Amino acid sequence: MIELMTAFSTYEKFTNNTNNTNEDIVSQFMNNIPITWIIAAFIISFGASYLAFECSCTEKPATRAIYTILAFFFSGFYLIYYLVVHVILGYQCFSGKNISNIIKSKK
């Protein structure tokens, strides 16, 4: 989520020739990005936070909350980490619930 907002803001800043506007990053983000992209980013962020929440079931509650919050805000990075560690390398989550079990049960 944060990386998406930063990327779009950076793109807008470098493509916009008039730097006289004093708008904040949120108003620029909301005015220039289609609402469907924002909804998709929230869905991906909630999915990443769900995976982080389920995979950290043996952690203490505070640590589990921090992992979940970080996965929500940095969902792109967390999903790449999850792909490498849990899907490609095959390390299972402690809870036994991961994306592999979800995909196998749907087939």
pLDDT recorded at residue 66 = 94
Q: What's the number of domains the chain is made of? A: 1
- Which is more confidently placed, 6 or 72? 72
Mean pLDDT along residues 87-100: 71
How far is Cα 78 from Cα 60, in angstroms, rounded to an integer?
Answer: 20
Residue-range definition of the domain harbouring residue 50: 2-106
Cβ within 8 Å of residue 93, ≥6 positions away: 54, 55, 57, 86
Q: Which residues of 32-51 are buried (b: 16+ CB within 10 A; e: fewer)?
A: ebeeeeeeebeebbebbbeb
Which residue is listed with tokens 């792109």?
76
pLDDT above 70 for 104: no
Tens-digit pLDDT profile for residues 15-58: 665 554 555 666 666 666 777 878 888 899 999 999 999 888 88
pLDDT recorded at residue 18 = 54
